[in-house]
């Protein structure tokens, strides 16, 4: 998929990348996201960015479901969530999924 945008609990926006399995940009205003999009994809992509914000946002909870601690630690991600206005953080279900992933990675490294 690449990346998607979600609206944070504090009303700002974040960008989650499935390439690195974590949030790459957070606490962006609408204009900051549009500018990011223009810098990355060209000056004419502003309308595409605005359309994404208006019609294609993903649920914020999805970033927690998709997070893998390969590039950010669980602790770093939890702090990031707090800075986005999410006081709940990762759920027990999220943490269980992460533990299973970590065990599978460890087994793979030992084989």
Q: What angle do CA 48, 23, 60 make, to 5 degrees?
A: 75
Closest by CA to 50, choosing from 20, 13, 81, is 13
Per-residue pLDDT tens digits of the chain, which is 111 residues long: 699 999 999 999 999 999 999 999 999 999 999 999 999 888 778 889 999 999 999 999 999 999 999 999 999 999 999 999 999 999 999 999 999 999 998 888 765
**Domain boundaries, given as residue ranges, for the chain:** 3-110
Q: How many residues does the chain have?
A: 111
Cα separation of 15 and 23, whole Å? 6
Instruction: Give the predicted TM-score (pTM) of the model.
Output: 0.90
């Amino acid at each position: 998929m690449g990346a998607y945008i979600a609206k944070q609990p504090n009303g700002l926006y974040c960008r989650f990348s499935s390439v690195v399995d974590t949030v790459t940009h957070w606490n962006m205003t609408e204009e900051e996201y549009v500018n990011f999009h223009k810098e990355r994809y060209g000056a004419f992509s502003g309308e595409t960015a605005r359309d994404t914000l208006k019609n294609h946002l993903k649920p914020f909870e999805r970033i927690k479901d998709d997070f893998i601690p390969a590039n950010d630690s669980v602790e770093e991600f939890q702090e990031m969530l707090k800075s986005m206005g999410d006081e709940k953080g990762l759920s027990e279900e999220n943490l269980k999924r992460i533990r299973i992933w970590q065990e599978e990675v460890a087994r793979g490294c030992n084989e």
